[in-house]
Amino acid sequence: MGTVTSVVGRLGLTDIGPVVGSTTLAEFPARAVVGEYIPISAVVFREGHDAVAASVVLRDPTGRKAQTVRMTPGAPGTDRWHAAVSADRQGAWSFSVEAWSDPLSTWEHAVTTKIAAGQGADDLANDLEDGARLFDSLAKLLPKTERPRASAAAKALRDTTLDVEHRVAGALDPFLQSLAHEHPVRELVTASPRYPLWIDRPRALYGSWYEFFPRSIGAQLAGDPAAPARPLRHGTFKDATEHLDYVAKMGFDVVYLPPIHPIGEVNRKGPNNTLVAQSWDVGSPWAIGSRDGGHDAIHPELGTMKEFQAFVKRANKLGMEVALDFALQAAPDHPWVEAHPEWFTTKPDGTIAYAENPPKKYQDIYPINFDNDPTGLYAECLRVIRHWIAAGVTIFRVDNPHTKPINFWQWLIGEVRKSDPDVLFLAEAFTRPAMMHELAKVGFHQSYTYFTWRTSKDELAEYATELVESAPYMRPNFFVNTPDILHSYLVHGGPAAFAIRAVLAATLSPTWGVYSGFELYEHQNLREGSEEYLDSEKYQLRPRDFAGAEADGRSLAPLLTRLNEIRRAHPALQQLRDFTLHTVDSPEILAFSKRDPATGDTIIVVCTVNPAEWREATIFLDLPALGLPLDSSFVVRDLLDGSEFHWSQANYVRLDPAIRPAHVLHVQAM
């Protein structure tokens, strides 16, 4: 998060945030979603000892003042002031901070101090008249029904027949002071510029994703013992549509599909990324394009556009949105290669360069070159996106956006936002932090993260804190696994490792995701040290017996279902910004809390990171962060199994990864 260093004015006004960009310029809008609590802060001060105050002015997309919220002082001695605002609809909002001298507070402090010191009416004559004039001014600012209170206070201050205590009593009345707080007399107002805010729909921040390959759903034995080389039939959208009930039952909000387009036949990869494919091998969905079409077409074996739209309609009816992969690359036989060779990179020998990430080679994929014909290529990309929006897609998971120009994404997302502001983009960019953060700043609504590789207590604590600090522009999506990433923690950790990662992803981040097979504890990698799955679904069909595994108790689906139920019921887990780490006297138990500022809903999560052995510890809670007094004793209810505990500041826990790897505790109303 950035701040603007200084606003030059009558009063000191510095370090205003959130501002996304440099220290002197808001280069990009800060981000939030409808209804989200947006913390605003600034440092406010002035010369001398007179009181200062500050307000946040929030303006809606029309430029109209939507809220004016008085700020509250932070830690003593810091001069930092805070407020929270929220927007009630999408669009381009803005905020500014106004610092001002607070003459009523200055007057009140001076008068009460002097009276306590024994000064009488003669000594306070000027102070009393100053106060009367201030309450005359206040009367003009109050609602008509309350103006007589301020006028009466001014009149009493001028009444020399009363003693000093009675002359000031009306001015110091708590109710009148609360009115003065709501309708302040302001002097020497110093206003900042207006800083941009972009407000998205709530799904940009909160959701549960489930990824599956439609071609594997319904894949089954062909029934021909004479053809063992190709024992499976290709799944279709009709099969995938039937599978949606299974996904919805687990409580997921978003169904994410890898590319559904025709797959290239030239240089097609075989099982486990082998270079030679047999005639029956299905290839990688990311090798997009063949004689059957390109990015705007559907693989013939999956079905038709009408059947895809039926899939989308069924998902929507079940309360889920459909996210589609947007991978800007092409198979050698993609129609673009012949029609627009300028969209690719030609090597000195005249051949087109295929994709490489040394030592990996992707002979079945040609990367796009954005420099030769940006006008034509940009227009085609926008056309493809709008083609799928028209088919019902509302979210795009963008493959490897860090390998394309940043200004292209800023342009594309900006164009889509103009016509379809509900459409969201997720950046799949496991790359350098600077690039990941810049992609978020230029418009991506969500970002893949390093969560998959953060497995220790300290790594998780540090990374979660970093993401909270980036909340004004970067929203994380914690996938527990992907078709490309099978972490060694899952390879060697057993079923408990899967449960631990699910709990952490679902509670640390407001958006999380699961790649199909995670709930079945799939953990066999290609070779020791590799993050590739053995018999990866990227290159072949992978049928699964979901129902049988659940019936036999070999599925994590019940836990995933419960986690999604908890997330849906508790707004504390639907937000990112209000996050607190708590002290634990064990290096393998992580404790943190989330609290929804609007409702006070509070969740405490205590989770082991050791999937092999039980651990015990004492949790030392930061009670003020939970909205509780330091001497509090209260009840917490474990939302995973319904058990209740009486907790206070220090609490004993024992976690057995095979039985109870975590507590997800709801703080009960006191």
At 218 the pLDDT is 85
Q: Is residue 26 scored above 70 in pLDDT?
A: no
At 227 the pLDDT is 47
**pTM of the entire predicted model:** 0.94
Q: How far apart are CA 106 and CA 340, in angstroms?
A: 72
Mean pLDDT of 56-80: 96
Place of tokens 């039952």: 249
Other CB atoms within 10 A of residue 28 CB: 20
Residue 562, sorted as left (phi over 0), alpha (psi -120 to 50) or beta, turns out to be alpha
Q: How far apart are CA 135 and CA 578, in angstroms?
A: 39
Predicted confidence band of residue 226 (pLDDT cuts 50, 70, 90): very low
Q: Give the phi and the psi of residue 603 in degrees, each rounded to 5.
A: -120, 135
Predicted confidence band of residue 221 (pLDDT cuts 50, 70, 90): very low
Residues with a known catalytic role:
399, 428
Convert the pLDDT of each residue in 157-177 to its tens digit. 999 999 999 999 999 999 999
Convert the pLDDT of each residue in 465-505 to its tens digit. 999 999 999 999 999 999 999 999 999 999 999 999 999 99
Convert the pLDDT of each residue in 229-262 to its tens digit. 556 899 999 999 999 999 999 999 999 999 999 9
Q: Look at residue 593 and give its three-state secondary structure.
A: strand
Predicted confidence band of residue 670 (pLDDT cuts 50, 70, 90): low
Q: How far apart are CA 312 and CA 321, in angstroms?
A: 8
Q: How far apart are CA 273 and CA 177, in angstroms?
A: 73
**187-191 and 321-326 beta bridge pairing:** unpaired
Tell me the pLDDT of the chain averaged across its residues.
95
Q: Is residue 125 scored above 60 in pLDDT?
A: yes
Mean pLDDT of 357-362: 79
**Which of 224-228, 356-360, 399-403 is the least confident region?**
224-228
Place of tokens 């969740």: 603
Q: Look at residue 1 and give its three-state secondary structure.
A: coil
Predicted confidence band of residue 8 (pLDDT cuts 50, 70, 90): confident
Q: Is residue 1 scored above 60 in pLDDT?
A: no
Predicted confidence band of residue 225 (pLDDT cuts 50, 70, 90): very low
Angle between helices 374-390 and 406-419 in degrees, nearest 10:
40
Q: How far apart are CA 333 and CA 23, in angstroms?
A: 48
**Alpha helices (H) in 509-621, listed in sequence order:** 546-551, 557-569
| CA distances in angstroms from 571 to 560, 566, 593, 599, listed in the order given | 18, 9, 12, 8
Q: Give the phi and the psi of residue 632 in degrees, each rounded to 5.
A: -70, 145
Give percent helix, percent strand, percent coil of the chain, each to the nearest 5.
Answer: 30, 25, 40
Indicate the Cα dihedral angle 291, 292, 295, 298, nearest 10°: -160
Mean pLDDT of 662-667: 98
State how far Cα 352 lies from the chain centre: 39
At 468 the pLDDT is 96
At 271 the pLDDT is 95
Mean pLDDT of 573-597: 97
At 4 the pLDDT is 59
Convert the pLDDT of each residue in 170-197 to its tens digit. 999 999 999 999 999 999 999 999 999 9
Q: Is residue 572 scored above 90 in pLDDT?
A: yes
Within 13 Å and on the Cβ side, how many CA atoms surround 23? Answer: 4
Mean pLDDT of 69-82: 96
Q: Look at residue 403 and give its three-state secondary structure.
A: helix
DSSP run (H or E) holding 634:
strand 634-638
Rg (CA), the chain: 30
At 359 the pLDDT is 76
Q: Which of 542, 526, 531, 459 is nearest to 490 (CA)?
A: 531
Q: How far apart are CA 231 and CA 220, in angstroms?
A: 8
Encoding tokens for residue 412? 């594309």
Convert the pLDDT of each residue in 519-543 to its tens digit. 999 999 999 999 999 999 999 999 9
CA atoms 375, 377, 381, 383: torsion sign: positive
Q: Is residue 107 scored above 80 in pLDDT?
A: yes
Predicted confidence band of residue 6 (pLDDT cuts 50, 70, 90): low
Q: How far apart are CA 4 and CA 24, in angstroms?
A: 5
